[in-house]
Every structure is written in C-alpha cells, then in structure tokens.
Amino acid sequence: MYTQGLDQRGDNAAAPARADDPAALAAFQARIDREEKIEPNDWMPQGYRRTLVRQISQHAHSEIVGMLPEGNWITRAPSLRRKMILLAKVQDEGGHGLYLYSAAETLGVSRAELVGQLLAGKAKYSSIFNYPTLTWADIGAIGWLVDGAAIMNQVPLCRCSYGPYARAMIRICREESFHQRQGYELMLKLARGTPDQKRMAQNALDRWWWPSLMMFGPSDRDSVHSSQNAAWKIKRVSNDELRQKFVDVTVPQGHFLGLTFPDPDLKLDEGTGHWNHGPIDWAEFNRVVAGDGQCNRDRLAARRKAHAEGAWVREAAAAFAAKRAHARAAKAAE
C-alpha cells in the first residue's frame, strides 16, 4: 500500500519509441476498430497513453477533491440516516479515486507522481468542485446534478478502448447512480418540506445548475481533443450530445420537485422532444478552470495541508515496513 516501486516504471513507459511506426499505428487502429480492448502490456501510441494518463488522473483528482465540498457537511448532516448516507458516499468517492489512480498506474505513472502534479497546481480536476457547499441542500444538489452529470459522462467510458479504465468505470458508474438517486431523494424531501426547506432547495438549484451544465466541457465547436479521442474510442460521445442528454433527463426531474431552473430560455422543443437551454456563460467556465473560482485556492490548500501534515505518518509507515522487511531478511539468512 505504501510502496514506491511504481516510480521506476516511468522509464519503461517512455522507452521504445515506436510511435512513429505507421504499420504499428495502423494495426493499433484496426484493433480499436474491431472493438478489442487495449491492455496495459499492449503496444500503444504515445499520444494514446498520454491522453489516457491525463484523462484518468484528472478523473481521479476530481474524486479526491470532490470529497472536500461534500465532506464539509458530514459533521452537520441533520439526521443519523443522512449522516450515514453522506459518509458512505464520500467514502465511495475516495474508493473511486483509488481505482482510478490504479488504472493510471497501469500506464506506467505512479500515484505519488500524479498526486504531486495535483499538489503543484499542474493538474486539472473537475471545476465543479471549485464551488462552495453553502447549505445542506447543496448535498442534495450535488448528488442529483453533479453525480447525475458524471454518470452521463462516464457511462460511455465503460466502453472505452482501454481495458483497465473501462472496467473501473463500470464499478464507478454503478455507485454514481446510487449517489444520484440518494441526492434526488434528499432534494425531494426538502422540496416537500417546510417553506424554508423548499427555499433552500431552490437556492441550491439556482447555484448548481449552470456549473453542472459546464461539467460536460466546452461546446463541440470549441473542443480541442475531440476527433482523435473519438477515433481511439476514448471519448465516444461528444460534449454537446452528453449535455443535451443530461438536460433532457434532468429538467423533468426538477419540475417534479416543483423547482424552477435559473434559465429563462429553457424550453421544450415539441418537434425534437429536446429541452433547449439558454447560452452557457463560458467566460465563467474559463475563469474557474483558470483558477479564479470561489474555492480553487481553498481546495488546493486543503489537499496540500493534508499531504504536508501527513508526511510524518507516511514516513513512519515506510520506516516501519523497512524495519520489518529487514528483520524478515535477517531471519531468513540465519
């Protein structure tokens, strides 16, 4: 659990530079086109590996940073049942982080290195977690909307061409849909509750709706990576298609709650059956991604603090493991 062995595998991953070999590339693409899963020891283009490491690690970081806004309400959950549900959820998110770091490690980069990038401020994570959880209703809104959007994004990833990532996503998606239902149930309780509770629910929807739509990333017109990732079957459905699917599923759910979406342009297109939404404020999206969201600095500071304050604990565990290994070796040599 505390071994550092994977750090040395970095050279391995960088090694044989066959990326330029057109025959190998063609054979690789043919495998993808046949829907074969690519496994850790298979040859793969450097770009494919890089893209996956970036995407999987960003996803892992998002799970870990995402524990902070929700963890913010564990000690204040209003009933024992809600406290248990929230604890279990945040624990699940930590587990998702673990599987995803493990999936990234199969590509030859260690968790320590990836976490180092996060702490150095060089890695990205989902910007949604740079918004604060102000009230208890935010816990419902996050489950309903943020986990809901995550599911839309992640279900297609269960068919991603890279085997370890696809398999991790299957398990994660099952748990995310559980979180989504629990979040919605929390919102329903508030929406059917006292006038204050209903106001709290509406206020949370007002704050979380647009950032949730932004979770799908820039519009297809402006997205940089889409076409190569589509060919490699890393990203199988476009940002805008996923976003539309999310809106179509979520709007009726919100109406059932008796809540109003903070979008005057939101309208059902009778012809297509789709809910059309108003323009997304991409300036806000870009600003938060660039680091100027309300909580970017706080989130990173919290991760850094935990890491720094835990250093002596990790050192102790390593020293203890070394002592025990040494003792075992000495005993074996007798």
Partner 1 sequence: MERRAALFEYLLRLGDSCLVLGHRVSEWCGHAPELEEDIALANVALDLTGQADMLLGYAARIEGKGRDADALAFLRDAWDFRNLLLCERANGDFAHTIVRQFLFDAWQAELYAALARSTDAGLAGIAAKGVKEAQYHLRHSGEWVVRLGDGTDESHARAQAALDEFWPFTGEMFETDAVATELIAAGIAPDMTPVEAAWMRTVDDVLAQATLARPKSGWMQTGGSKGRHGEELGHLLATMQFLPRAYPGAKW
**Per-residue x/- mask for partner 1, residues 71 to 100, rule CB under 8 A?**
x--xxxxxxxxxxx--xx-xx--xx-xx--
Q: Are 146 and 67 in contact (CB under 8 A)?
A: no
Calpha distance 234→159 (Å, rounded): 8
User: Which listed option, partner 1, Fe ion, none, makes contact with residue 331 (CB within 5 to 8 Å by class)?
Assistant: none
* Interacting residue with partner 1 among 11, 23, 194, 333 (CB under 8 A): 194
Calpha distance 142→144 (Å, rounded): 6
> How many other CB atoms are found less than 10 A from the CB of residue 11?
9
Calpha distance 254→190 (Å, rounded): 12
User: Which listed option, partner 1, Fe ion, none, makes contact with residue 158 (CB within 5 to 8 Å by class)?
Assistant: none
Q: Under the criterion CB under 5 A, does residue 105 sit at the interface with Fe ion? A: no
- Pick the closer one to partner 1 by CB: 77 or 158: 77
User: Which listed option, Fe ion, partner 1, none, makes contact with residue 176 (CB within 5 to 8 Å by class)?
Assistant: Fe ion
Q: Under the criterion CB under 5 A, does residue 176 sit at the interface with Fe ion? A: yes
Q: DSSP letter at 279?
A: -
**Per-residue x/- mask for partner 1, residues 98 to 127, rule CB under 8 A?**
x--x--------------------------
Q: Under the criterion CB under 8 A, does residue 305 sit at the interface with partner 1? A: yes
* Interacting residue with Fe ion among 49, 61, 82, 179 (CB under 5 A): 179
Calpha distance 173→158 (Å, rounded): 8
Min dist. Cβ of residue 179 to partner 1 (A):
14
The secondary structure of 80-123 as a DSSP string is HHHHHHHHHHHHHHHHHHHHHHHHHHTTT--HHHHHHHHHTT-S
User: Which listed option, partner 1, Fe ion, none, makes contact with residue 136 (CB within 5 to 8 Å by class)?
Assistant: partner 1
Q: Are 234 and 55 in contact (CB under 8 A)?
A: yes
Q: Under the criterion CB under 8 A, does residue 331 sit at the interface with partner 1? A: no
Tell the residue number behind the tokens 């300036």, with chain if given: 283
The secondary structure of 17-47 as a DSSP string is --TT-HHHHHHHHHHHHTTPPB-TTS---HH
Binding site for Fe ion (CB under 5 A): 63, 93, 96, 147, 176, 179
The residues of the shown chain that bind partner 1, judged by CB under 8 A, are 1-2, 64, 67-68, 71, 74-84, 87-88, 90-91, 94-95, 97-98, 101, 136, 189, 193-194, 196-197, 302, 305-306, 309-317, 319-320, 323
